[in-house]
């Protein structure tokens, strides 16, 4: 097991993955970084055989050759997406892109008895807002009243009842403007009179506004929880909008939240999750969402080190022998 590598699937420049890689290297655990959409278009190669013998194969990068049966664990972070939505593709290019997505990703997700943090199929299943909110409410979290709709009248009635309400996308998306720069739709308050019939174009998420005094980002690594209180200078509703204005400090996790987090991870078969809560003046933690592959490298330094160490513990251990 000492020579069994950890595969770290992510794009170049992923600071979060770098922290875990540094921890693994410091322990003498071999690790191979791979960005399939980029590396296989370059010097990476793979061959897999199934049928006549158990699952076998090899993966080679510019610097390493790995027997797939020797992989200890997989840390699935944020690999580069396949294809560029800003470019038109020929049928041949589209065919090659889809075969690459299915072949390379299929190989990495099919490794037998290899722990994934998290398996990408589990990430996708857990990434749907409505499934998250319904599961969170069922498992004992406090969940703000929420409406997902493309019916303008229903949206206006909900906003009038709870107004102002919070608007957020049903799914996070990064858009590219005409100038080539990325655009993000931030969480913001809306009033009933702002909502017109364009709502019918697609589903939108509206949520009763929690009178919060701070935000909480909780990183769950198995049964180890690391919670950070986020205080924002000014009146930004969405603390991600300008992280120069935030102050992070570790906080204890209430017992009832700890229990609900454990149930949530088990329900979605996750090893890791980044939970967001709104903290109100009474000390109540309101569940907002769980990003199954969320960031944590922006919090206070001791907590960053602790999370990196906890992730390295799981990846180093690998599958039971």
pTM of the model: 0.90
| Cβ-contact 18, 87 below 8 angstroms | no
Give the mean pLDDT of 3-11: 93
Q: How many CB atoms lie within 10 A of CB 33?
A: 21
What's the CA gap between 287 and 140, in Å, rounded?
10
What's the CA gap between 99 and 94, in Å, rounded?
9
| Cβ-contact 286, 143 below 8 angstroms | yes
What was the pLDDT predicted at 320?
67
pLDDT top residue among 141 and 232: 141
**3-class SS of residue 97:** helix
Lowest mean per-residue pLDDT among 90-94, 143-147, 183-187, 268-272 = 183-187
What separation in angstroms does the CA of 300 have from each of 100, 223, 225, 262, 310? 39, 20, 15, 23, 16
* For residue 87, pLDDT beyond 70: no
Per-residue pLDDT reduced to its tens digit, 18-46: 999 999 999 999 999 999 988 888 888 99
Q: How many CB atoms lie within 10 A of CB 287?
A: 25
- Closest C-alpha to 207, from 279, 149, 261, 152: 149
Mean pLDDT of the chain: 89
Lowest mean per-residue pLDDT among 129-143, 179-193, 276-290 = 179-193
What was the pLDDT predicted at 96?
84
Q: Edge-to-edge strand order for the sheet containing 65-67?
A: 45-49, 56-60, 65-67
What's the CA gap between 199 and 220, in Å, rounded?
35
Give the phi and the psi of residue 18 in degrees, each rounded to 5.
-60, -40
| Cβ-contact 315, 24 below 8 angstroms | yes
Give the mean pLDDT of 285-308: 95
Q: Edge-to-edge strand order for the sheet containing 188-190?
A: 146-149, 204-208, 165-168, 188-190
* For residue 177, pLDDT beyond 70: no
* Orientation of helix 301-317 relative to helix 15-26, angle to 10°: 60
Give residue 179's pLDDT band: very low, low, confident or very high (50, 70, 90). Answer: low
Per-residue pLDDT reduced to its tens digit, 226-242: 999 999 887 667 777 67
Give residue 1's pLDDT band: very low, low, confident or very high (50, 70, 90). Answer: low
Give the mean pLDDT of 311-320: 90
What's the CA gap between 141 and 257, in Å, rounded?
7
List the alpha helices (DSSP H) in the chain. 15-26, 36-39, 91-109, 120-126, 129-138, 152-162, 255-268, 301-317
User: Residue 65 contacts by C-beta under 8 Å, 6 or more apart in sequence?
Assistant: 58, 59
What's the CA gap between 198 and 190, in Å, rounded?
14
pLDDT top residue among 88 and 90: 90
Percent of the chain with pLDDT over 90: 61
What was the pLDDT predicted at 148?
94
* For residue 321, pLDDT beyond 60: no
CA atoms within 13 A on the CB side of 103: 16
Per-residue pLDDT reduced to its tens digit, 198-220: 999 999 999 999 999 999 999 99
Give residue 91's pLDDT band: very low, low, confident or very high (50, 70, 90). Answer: confident
What was the pLDDT predicted at 315?
97
**3-class SS of residue 82:** coil
């Amino acid at each position: 097991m000492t020579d069994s590598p950890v595969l770290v699937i992510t794009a170049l420049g992923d600071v979060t993955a770098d922290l875990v890689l540094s921890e693994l290297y410091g322990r003498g655990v071999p690790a191979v970084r791979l960005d399939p959409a980029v590396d296989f278009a370059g010097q990476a190669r793979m061959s897999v055989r199934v049928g006549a013998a158990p699952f076998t194969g090899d993966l080679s990068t510019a610097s390493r050759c790995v027997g797939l049966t020797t992989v200890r664990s997989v840390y699935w972070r944020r690999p580069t997406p396949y294809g560029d939505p800003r470019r038109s593709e020929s049928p041949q290019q589209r065919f090659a892109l889809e075969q690459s997505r299915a072949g390379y990703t299929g190989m990495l997700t099919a490794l037998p008895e290899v722990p994934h943090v998290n398996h990408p199929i589990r990430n996708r299943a857990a990434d749907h807002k409505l499934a998250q909110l319904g599961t969170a409410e069922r498992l004992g979290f406090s969940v703000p009243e929420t409406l997902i709709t493309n019916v303008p009248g229903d949206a206006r009635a909900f906003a009038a009842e709870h107004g102002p309400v919070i608007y957020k996308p049903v799914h996070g998306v990064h858009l590219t403007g005409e100038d080539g720069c990325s655009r993000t739709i931030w969480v913001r308050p809306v009033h009933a009179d702002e909502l017109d019939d364009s709502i019918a174009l697609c589903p939108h998420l509206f949520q009763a506004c929690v009178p919060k005094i701070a935000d909480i980002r909780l990183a769950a690594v198995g049964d180890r929880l690391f919670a950070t209180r986020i205080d924002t200078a000014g009146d930004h509703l969405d603390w991600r909008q300008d992280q120069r204005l935030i102050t992070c400090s570790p906080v204890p996790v209430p017992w009832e939240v700890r229990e609900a987090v454990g149930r949530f991870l088990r329900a979605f078969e996750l090893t890791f999750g980044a939970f967001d809560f709104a903290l109100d003046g009474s000390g109540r933690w309101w569940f907002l969402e769980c990003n199954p592959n969320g960031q944590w490298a922006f919090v206070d330094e001791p907590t960053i080190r602790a999370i990196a160490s906890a992730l390295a513990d799981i990846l180093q251990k690998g599958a039971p022998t």
